[in-house]
Chain A
Amino acid sequence: MNIIEVKELSRKFGKLTAVDKVSFQVAEGEIFGFLGPNGAGKTTTINMLCTLLNPTSGSATINGFDIVKQRAEVRCSIGLVFQEPTLDEYLSAEQNLRFHAYAYGIPANIREKRITELLELVELAERRKSKVRTFSGGMKRRLEIARGLLHSPKVLFMDEPTLGLDPQTRRHIWDYINTLRRQNRLTIFLTTHYMDEAENCDRISIIDHGHIIALDTPDRLKDAMGGDVVTLKAANNQAAAEELKTKFGLSPVLQNGNITFSIPQGEKFLPKLMENFQTQLVSIGIRRPTLDDVFLKLTGRAIRDSEAGEREMMKSFMMRRGGH
């Protein structure tokens, strides 16, 4: 059974189409990742799925419940960890969890036990009585994960769960995610723009300008690149790119003063290239493809390059609307 079913979901903000006819399914127990630059429509999609935002058109169900018509049922089926903190900083860790338990109607006889269990899972049991404003960014995020799981949801949504955290904390959070999935058959839907993080997902959907441009397992996405990635730098990149096109029938991409292209069995191709290449080469490298290469190939630009521009665009757009 598919725990999440999305059909042609769209959302417009005035003239801007933030999410454009997106369709996908997520199976129970899957870790499903939304990968894309900021402003690609990841958060808008999550907000629609968690009933915070109405779709302009299209439909979606979570745990069999319609996100527009059965909001209360959807809300009980999902847990959320947002990009920005949503804790009451003036209350203690325990009080935040207790508020959540009351809000979701968790029966009194299991409430305190669940709170203790989850605080132990995220290693905050010793700080349960401390005010949240004394917590570090990583601790807050861990507390939010505990809170998102308190009402035993079927799907945990995490919007950039490790944004702004140090690598150690990020790894820690990934350990929790994997434990949870093993123990409870929990489905996890996350958005990220970290490539290495996306590698942890069972399936990834790459999203850009509100469209899903690819959806598969990380391995198959990389395999579809057609082999290894060669990055080279020439005295004259234009001429080198032209030569790669005509002489070897490749489709090189120029980016940040480098030329990249993919080729099967790259280690055998390199000697051939060196022998016959006319343009003077400065450097050359070869590696297994990453998801960044996949994104680069599909959109013609790297995720990180597209970020700044889009963020500015979203920001000025938001300001015109008067806030978020």
Chain B
Amino acid sequence: MSDILRGTWVVSYRELLRFLTERSRLFSSIFMPLVFFAIFGAGFNNIIGNLSPGIDFIKFVYPGIIAQSVLQSSIFSGISIVWDREFGFLKEILVAPLGRSGIVLGKVLGSAAIALMQAIIMLILAPFIKISLTPLMIAQLIPVLILISISLSGLGVLIASRMRSQQGFQVVIQIIIFPMMFLSGIFFPVNNVPTWMEVISKVNPVTYGVDAIRQIFLGSSISVAGPTGNPIGVTVFGHTMTMGQDLLIVAMIGAILLSLAIWAFSRQE
């Protein structure tokens, strides 16, 4: 048991140390969400009217960009395993007296902490776009972001545990991660789209994470029908998801992904 705990703390310690010492990564992780936000926000805000009473595109996309930065840093925890394998450092971790499940948990918790830092930086923007932050919102946001990040990092580690090269991981990102990002309600509501897109979006766990974050920022207004007749919140079989239901789905899928990740990572030799 102690070797699992030690594994968790040592690996998450290194994740954070690496994140803070690598300036380029630190910079890009802050800069990328800002770029996404500036481009999509400024580009679409004037051509798209209010999506829902009182909610313009900028207000709509802002929680989505926070979710997107969580997705990005969670998947990065997977890439870092592939990197460590290629550059040899993974061997140093694997021969140390650390439990394999502890190593996975360390990666996941480390990336959750990084995701949280990124999201908090994004919160600085809130006053500029007339979203008023309350202490309650921040108190809700922190555990929600941690939960989403743990679930998605589970996916990152699961993919990485059998992956030998970065090229392979790039392919996976293109065929799995990009669709997960674009078909998740980050950039547009998933209720007014063609059926095939709606089906993919609604089996995508990211969709529910995005919806939960959006509910924290926008409150009940997201279940109000907009000009299209549909609310911007996620509806499943006509039922608009509550935040609790969103989080339950994220937690369940996360538990499955994390268990699979621990299993796959422990099996490797």
Is there an interface contact between B18 and A91, defined as CB atoms closer than 8 Å? yes
Given A91-B21, A95-B17, the answer on whether A100 and B89 have CB atoms closer than 8 Å is no
Is there an interface contact between A86 and B18, defined as CB atoms closer than 8 Å? no
A-facing mask of B93-121, CB < 8 A → 1, else 0? Answer: 11111100000000000000000000000
Is there an interface contact between A90 and B94, defined as CB atoms closer than 8 Å? no
B13 CB, nearest partner CB in chain A, Å: 7
Interface size grouping (class) on chain A: 20 to 34
Given A89-B87, A105-B6, the answer on whether A100 and B17 have CB atoms closer than 8 Å is no
A174 on interface, CB distance cutoff 8 Å:
no
Is there an interface contact between B22 and A90, defined as CB atoms closer than 8 Å? yes
**B interface: dominant SS:** helix
Is there an interface contact between A80 and B88, defined as CB atoms closer than 8 Å? no
Is there an interface contact between B92 and A87, defined as CB atoms closer than 8 Å? yes
Given A72-B3, A87-B92, A323-B165, the answer on whether A52 and B98 have CB atoms closer than 8 Å is no
CA distance A51 to B91 in the complex (A): 11
Is there an interface contact between A99 and B269, defined as CB atoms closer than 8 Å? no
Is there an interface contact between A100 and B21, defined as CB atoms closer than 8 Å? no
In the complex, which residue of chain B has the Cβ closest to the Cβ of A51? B95
A269 on interface, CB distance cutoff 8 Å:
no
Is there an interface contact between A103 and B6, defined as CB atoms closer than 8 Å? yes
Q: Chain A contacts of B90 at CB under 8 A?
A: 86
Q: Chain B contacts of A95 at CB under 8 A?
A: 17
Residue in contact with B9 in the complex, picked from A52, A89, A102, A323, CB distance below 8 Å? A102
B-facing mask of A248-265, CB < 8 A → 1, else 0? Answer: 000000000000000000
A-facing mask of B197-221, CB < 8 A → 1, else 0? Answer: 0000000000000000000000000
Is there an interface contact between B269 and A323, defined as CB atoms closer than 8 Å? no
Is there an interface contact between B89 and A88, defined as CB atoms closer than 8 Å? yes
Q: Chain A contacts of B3 at CB under 8 A?
A: 72
In the complex, which residue of chain A has the Cβ closest to the Cβ of B6? A105
Is there an interface contact between A86 and B164, defined as CB atoms closer than 8 Å? no
Is there an interface contact between A84 and B9, defined as CB atoms closer than 8 Å? no
Q: Chain B contacts of A75 at CB under 8 A?
A: 95-97
In the complex, which residue of chain B has the Cβ closest to the Cβ of A54? B269
Query: Which of B18, B21, B96 counts the most chain A CB atoms within 10 A?
Result: B96
Residue in contact with A85 in the complex, picked from B14, B88, B95, CB distance below 8 Å? B88
Is there an interface contact between A86 and B92, defined as CB atoms closer than 8 Å? yes
Is there an interface contact between B95 and A87, defined as CB atoms closer than 8 Å? no
A82 on interface, CB distance cutoff 8 Å:
yes
A29 CB, nearest partner CB in chain B, Å: 23
B173 on interface, CB distance cutoff 8 Å:
no
Q: Chain A contacts of B91 at CB under 8 A?
A: 52, 82, 86
Q: Chain A contacts of B89 at CB under 8 A?
A: 86-88
In the complex, which residue of chain B has the Cβ closest to the Cβ of A133? B87
Given A85-B88, A90-B21, A100-B92, the answer on whether A72 and B97 have CB atoms closer than 8 Å is yes
A53 on interface, CB distance cutoff 8 Å:
yes
B110 CB, nearest partner CB in chain A, Å: 13
Q: Chain B contacts of A323 at CB under 8 A?
A: 164-165
Given A52-B91, A322-B164, A323-B164, the answer on whether A103 and B98 have CB atoms closer than 8 Å is yes
Is there an interface contact between A76 and B97, defined as CB atoms closer than 8 Å? yes
B241 on interface, CB distance cutoff 8 Å:
no
Ranked 6 nearest A-B pairs via Cβ: A323-B164, A86-B88, A103-B96, A75-B97, A72-B97, A86-B92
* Interface residues of A, Cβ cutoff 8 Å to B: 50-54, 71-72, 75-76, 78, 80, 82, 84-91, 95, 99-100, 102-105, 147, 322-324
* Interface residues of B, Cβ cutoff 8 Å to A: 2-3, 6-7, 9-10, 13-14, 17-18, 21-22, 84, 87-98, 164-165, 269
